[in-house]
């Protein structure tokens, strides 16, 4: 050891530092004493924890005995029966310190001679102190072997360092005991062998074996149920909840194997039941009055019929403390088919996730109100009718009138005051949406009816709900309507549960119910087979196919059926078909995608010699998530005149051919001239899909002006910037009369394909054949005091000289040039001509029967001109005489 002398701070002769004396400062602690204190403290803390804390008696008994601490009566483990009695009469301060509650008790952990666990099928009651400890346990005859009982927990305090209940305030902890049990015995044997598919086989005693799953089919059903405004006491009672769970399982024809429930702190219960078919589970929030339930089963037995029973068993209403009345139970639910099914099985099941019934009603939890009105299987199909209301629905105008809502009434924003929508399904496919059915049926029926000049005989395929018939009977010209419906039950169910669909009360001259109208003839038969077998010929002016989508009907791909439908039309007949949802510009080629049958239907109509014109249109106001698509096919091209009619023409036809109603309300709520005008050109997606055909149709190369080509314009007020020059001429007729004229010359070189005076040509005006007929002859002859209208004659002469008919044969439209282009000379020498129409003559002659390209660009095709060859500066511009010939 080195001692340092602090007084000797000078340098040393040997070069080392001076010595400094070490004097301790402050208190000194011997390390050995420190370690002894720490060890003793830890030992005392451990002993205190053993004596006071919640420790397993099996662990602490030897220690307490070693420390000669007397054992509490609760820890006597050698005589279980005596111990159980002691538990019942214990007066422990910790146990009785707080109010106790009764809960259901399941099986305690009882070690029997065989080492097994005894479970009870019926829950018993014990008393639980406020901190979750057992006050009274099992009865004498239920105890065998060693019983483990928890010690009393620490008394809760307000000290921040205390754990106790502070932990429970942050975490969800379970109370004891755990409620467990097994399901009731079933009165029949379960066959759970592989490939088992039972179908309600009758067992002994007249009992019926419920449907079981085919265990080789990995699929099932999943039902989620959320219920609100439930009684708190019910949601906090393991025994009542367990009883409701077992009853619901029994009601569903399922088999409970076992269940396990936990009471949660400060409130709530979680339970799970193991089923032979899978499981059922739920969790409760007593204070909020909410329970969420989950039921999954691999049984083939439908789960939807179980819903009312689940709502009855678990929907125990709570009392509103302000009114003293029971609150209304609110239940949300969702049903899904799970697992892996074959495509055929998926299509056959109306509750499959790809069906409308699943997507609109049974699957989404956002549909806050769901009520099944009808569910029945007929000889031909399944019929479902539901009332539904979504979370974001608000009152309609009619709802507001019924409720007397004022503009600032908050009920306008509440879905509780919105009337539900009634939905009609066939085989899971949505057929009718009550709030939008008029828009849909007017869009299906009226365009075809007005495409015919005066329909007298009409046929309807399908449409058993009656709405299509109703729209047809509005037309005063109709003398006979033949409806061919496959399923008589559709008619009956619709009359009973959706009577407004066949309500003709407001139609002048009709019966109260459309089916009772003298003009209506209902035939129950397979319509496609009926028409083909009967070989109906030229009988119907209008034929409306109100069947399911083409993808659901192989008949649309059968050329014999299509020809039979076409042959049933009169020479000017029109056929209308609903053809599913509208396509997207991202869709694949039509014959390769999911709408393959629709494309085959169009192909069959195109190849039919009895069809001259086909038109596609969409309507986005039918209530569906996507626009609905429709098709109109005409036997004669003259229907184009009515199809392309202007807004005022259609409005007049509606007034003239339909007229008014008994109530004075408008006959049509959606269709009018403006609506028909929107049907003239199909959306671009149809054009895009059409041009994916192989080989690509000729006109697809002309879907828009070529941006690589130049525009050569004529500017009368700025000749320096003009590409053309108009020179005055004089010509002598065969009669020797000299007439003034003009010719057009190019001032610059114009390459082949360049656009000639596009601005002037785009200004061409359109005049119909009907207008020409009205102003021809002597339009003022019948007017007193009015002389001959020279200006009208001049106008007609001008149209004859500079107008031309539309390339859309049968449209009844004419285009008249009004700009500099009308003075371009016309020559019958094709070699002299140097301009042509923008779109050349189609290789097959006129425009195709079906072409979204022609429908969308018909006006452009009727006016624009391009250079047919290179034109040199100073060369005259000449049109061919056959420029606008088809």
Position 726 pLDDT exceeds 90: yes
The length of the chain, given as a count of residues:
886
Distance of CA 47 to the CA centre of its chain: 66
Do the Cβ atoms of 98 and 128 come closer than 8 Å?
Answer: no
Tokens standing for 31?
Answer: 């390390």
Identify which has the larger pLDDT, 654 or 201: 654
Give pLDDT tens digits for 299-342. Answer: 878 899 999 999 999 999 999 999 999 999 999 999 999 988 88
Position 76 pLDDT exceeds 60: no
| Per-residue 3-state assignment (H helix, E strand, C coil) for 80-109 | HHHHHHHHHHCCCHHHHCCCCEEEEECCCC
195 CB-contact burial (10 Å; exposed 0-12 / middle 13-18 / buried 19+): exposed
- Determine the pLDDT at residue 154: 41
Q: Average pLDDT over the chain, rounded to whole?
A: 82
Identify which has the larger pLDDT, 294 or 797: 294
Give pLDDT tens digits for 613-671. Answer: 999 999 999 999 999 999 999 999 999 999 999 999 999 999 999 988 999 999 999 99
User: Which of 121-135, 208-222, 250-264, 352-366 shows the lowest per-residue confidence on average (mean pLDDT)?
Assistant: 121-135
Residues catalogued as catalytic:
546
Candidates 449, 503, 445; CA nearest to 476 is 449
Residue 34 CB neighbour total at 10 angstroms: 10
Alpha-carbon distance of 575 to 615, in angstroms, equals 10
Tokens standing for 871?
Answer: 């034109």
Alpha-carbon distance of 431 to 382, in angstroms, equals 12
| β-bridge mates for residue 333, sequence order | 225
- Determine the pLDDT at residue 845: 82
Do the Cβ atoms of 251 and 264 come closer than 8 Å?
Answer: no
Candidates 825, 802, 801, 829; CA nearest to 724 is 825
| pLDDT average, residue stretch 788-815 | 84
Tokens standing for 693?
Answer: 């055909």
- Residue 50's pLDDT band (cuts 50, 70, 90): low
Alpha-carbon distance of 3 to 659, in angstroms, equals 127
Residue 828 CB neighbour total at 10 angstroms: 9
**In the chain, what are the domains?**
53-173 (no CATH), 178-187+210-340 (3.60.90.10), 436-696 (3.40.50.150), 705-880 (2.170.270.10)
Alpha helices in 514-621 (DSSP H): 527-534, 559-567, 596-607
Give pLDDT tens digits for 701-715. Answer: 999 999 999 999 999
Give the β-pairing of 755-756 and 738-746: unpaired
Candidates 627, 672, 638; CA nearest to 654 is 672
Do the Cβ atoms of 812 and 769 come closer than 8 Å?
Answer: yes
Rounded to a whole number, what is the distance in angstroms from the first to the last CA of the chain?
125
Alpha-carbon distance of 190 to 198, in angstroms, equals 10
623 CB-contact burial (10 Å; exposed 0-12 / middle 13-18 / buried 19+): middle
Residue 868, preceding peptide bond in cis (omega within 30° of 0): no
Identify which has the larger pLDDT, 92 or 297: 297
Position 106 pLDDT exceeds 80: no
Give pLDDT tens digits for 407-443. Answer: 989 999 988 899 999 999 999 999 999 999 999 999 9
- Determine the pLDDT at residue 778: 64
Give the β-pairing of 480-485 and 457-462: parallel
- Determine the pLDDT at residue 32: 83
- Determine the pLDDT at residue 202: 46
Q: Report the chain's C-alpha Rg in angstroms.
A: 44
Give pLDDT tens digits for 527-558. Answer: 999 998 999 999 999 999 998 777 877 888 88
Q: What are phi and psi of 627, to 5 degrees?
A: -60, 145
Candidates 594, 589, 569; CA nearest to 579 is 594
Give pLDDT tens digits for 838-865. Answer: 999 999 888 899 999 999 999 999 999 9
Candidates 552, 556, 199, 557; CA nearest to 380 is 552
- Determine the pLDDT at residue 538: 93
Alpha-carbon distance of 283 to 269, in angstroms, equals 6
Candidates 445, 326, 426, 448; CA nearest to 376 is 426
Distance of CA 123 to the CA centre of its chain: 45
Give pLDDT tens digits for 369-383. Answer: 999 999 999 999 999
pLDDT above 70 covers a percentage of the chain that reads: 76
Residue 805 CB neighbour total at 10 angstroms: 16
- Determine the pLDDT at residue 137: 44
Do the Cβ atoms of 453 and 485 come closer than 8 Å?
Answer: no
Alpha-carbon distance of 389 to 293, in angstroms, equals 22
Identify which has the larger pLDDT, 675 or 97: 675
Residue 156, preceding peptide bond in cis (omega within 30° of 0): no
User: Which of 95-104, 398-407, 441-450, 790-799 shows the lowest per-residue confidence on average (mean pLDDT)?
Assistant: 95-104
DSSP E strands in 114-201: the ranges are 124-128, 134-136, 173-174, 179-182
- Determine the pLDDT at residue 264: 87
Sign of CA dihedral 622, 351, 227, 172: negative
Give pLDDT tens digits for 468-504. Answer: 999 999 999 999 999 999 999 999 999 999 999 999 9
- Three-state DSSP state, 211: coil
Give the β-pairing of 738-746 and 835-837: unpaired
Position 580 pLDDT exceeds 70: yes
Position 68 pLDDT exceeds 90: no
Alpha-carbon distance of 394 to 736, in angstroms, equals 80
């Amino acid at each position: 050891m080195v001692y340092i002398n602090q007084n000797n701070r000078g340098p040393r002769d040997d070069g080392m530092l001076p010595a400094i004396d070490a004097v301790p400062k402050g208190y000194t602690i011997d390390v050995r004493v420190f370690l002894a204190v720490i060890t003793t403290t830890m030992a005392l803390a451990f002993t205190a924890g053993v004596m006071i804390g919640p420790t397993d008696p099996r662990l602490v008994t030897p220690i307490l005995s070693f420390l000669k601490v007397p054992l509490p009566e609760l820890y006597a483990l050698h005589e279980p029966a005596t111990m159980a009695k002691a538990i019942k009469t214990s007066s422990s301060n910790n146990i009785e310190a707080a109010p106790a509650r009764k809960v259901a008790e399941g099986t305690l952990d009882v070690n029997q001679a065989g080492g097994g666990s005894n479970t009870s099928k019926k829950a018993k009651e014990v008393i639980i102190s406020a901190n979750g400890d057992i006050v009274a346990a099992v009865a004498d005859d239920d105890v065998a072997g060693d019983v483990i009982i928890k010690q009393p927990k620490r008394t809760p305090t307000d000290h921040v360092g205390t754990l106790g209940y502070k932990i429970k305030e942050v975490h969800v902890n379970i109370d004891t005991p755990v409620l467990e049990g097994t399901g009731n015995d079933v009165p029949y044997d379960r066959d759970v062998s592989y490939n088992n598919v039972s179908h309600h086989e009758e067992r002994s005693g007249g009992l019926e074996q419920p449907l079981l799953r085919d265990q080789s089919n990995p699929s099932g059903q999943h039902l989620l149920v959320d219920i609100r405004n439930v009684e708190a006491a019910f949601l906090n009672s393991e025994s009542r909840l367990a009883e409701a769970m077992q009853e619901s399982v029994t009601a569903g024809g399922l088999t409970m194997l076992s269940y396990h429930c936990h009471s949660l702190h400060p409130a709530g219960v979680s339970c799970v039941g193991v089923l032979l078919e899978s499981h059922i589970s739920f969790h409760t929030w007593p204070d909020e009055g909410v329970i969420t339930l989950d039921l999954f089963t691999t049984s083939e037995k439908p789960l939807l019929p179980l819903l009312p029973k689940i709502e009855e068993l678990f929907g125990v209403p709570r009392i509103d403390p302000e009114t003293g009345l029971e609150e209304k139970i609110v239940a949300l639910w969702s049903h899904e088919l799970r697992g892996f099914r074959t495509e055929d099985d998926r299509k056959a099941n109306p509750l499959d996730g790809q069906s409308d019934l699943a997507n609109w009603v049974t699957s989404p939890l956002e549909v806050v109100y769901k009520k099944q009105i009808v569910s029945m299987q007929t000889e031909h199909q399944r019929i479902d009718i539901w009332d539904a209301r979504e979370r974001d629905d608000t009152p309609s105008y009619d709802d507001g009138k019924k409720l007397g809502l004022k503009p600032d009434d908050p009920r306008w924003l509440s879905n509780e005051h919105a009337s539900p929508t009634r939905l009609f399904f066939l085989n899971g496919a949505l057929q009718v949406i009550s709030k939008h059915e008029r828009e849909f049926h007017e869009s299906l029926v009226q365009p075809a009816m007005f495409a015919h000049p005066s329909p007298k005989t009409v046929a309807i395929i399908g449409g058993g709900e009656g709405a299509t018939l109703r729209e047809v009977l509005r037309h005063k010209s109709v003398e006979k309507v033949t409806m061919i419906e496959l399923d008589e039950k559709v008619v009956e169910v619709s009359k009973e549960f959706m009577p407004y669909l066949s309500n003709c009360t407001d139609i002048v001259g009709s019966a109260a119910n459309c089916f009772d109208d003298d003009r209506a003839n209902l035939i129950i038969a397979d319509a496609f087979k009926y028409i083909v077998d009967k070989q109906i010929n030229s009988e119907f002016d209008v034929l409306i196919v109100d069947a399911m989508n083409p993808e659901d009907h192989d008949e649309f791909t059968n050329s014999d059926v299509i020809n039979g439908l076409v042959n049933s039309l009169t020479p000017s007949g029109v056929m209308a078909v609903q053809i599913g949802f509208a396509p997207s510009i991202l869709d694949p080629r039509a014959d390769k995608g999911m709408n393959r049958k629709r494309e085959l239907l169009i192909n069959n109509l195109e190849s039919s010699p009895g069809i001259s014109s086909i038109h596609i249109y969409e309507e986005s106001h039918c209530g569906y998530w996507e626009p609905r698509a429709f098709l109109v096919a005409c036997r004669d091209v003259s229907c184009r005149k009515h199809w392309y009619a202007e807004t005022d023409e259609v409005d007049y036809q509606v007034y003239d051919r339909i007229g008014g109603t008994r109530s004075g309300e408008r006959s049509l709520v959606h269709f009018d001239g403006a609506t028909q005008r929107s049907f003239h050109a199909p959306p671009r997606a149809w054009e895009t899909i059409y041009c994916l055909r192989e080989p690509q149709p000729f006109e697809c190369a002309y879907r828009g002006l070529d941006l690589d080509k130049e525009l050569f314009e004529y500017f009368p007020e700025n000749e320096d910037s003009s590409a053309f020059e108009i020179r005055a001429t004089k010509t002598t007729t065969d009669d020797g009369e000299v007439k003034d004229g003009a010719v057009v010359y190019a001032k610059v070189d114009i390459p082949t394909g360049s656009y000639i005076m596009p601005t002037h040509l785009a200004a061409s005006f359109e005049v119909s054949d009907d207008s020409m007929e009205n102003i021809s002859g002597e339009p003022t002859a019948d007017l007193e005091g009015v002389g001959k209208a020279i200006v009208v004659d001049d106008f007609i002469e001008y149209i004859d000289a500079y107008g031309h008919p539309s390339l859309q044969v049968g449209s009844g439209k004419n285009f008249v040039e009004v700009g500099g282009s009308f003075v371009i000379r016309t020559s019958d020498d094709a070699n002299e001509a140097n301009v042509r129409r923008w779109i050349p003559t189609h290789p097959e002659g006129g425009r195709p029967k079906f072409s979204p390209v022609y429908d969308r660009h018909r006006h452009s095709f009727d006016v624009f001109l391009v250079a047919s060859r290179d034109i040199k500066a100073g060369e005259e511009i000449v049109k061919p005489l056959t420029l606008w010939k088809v």
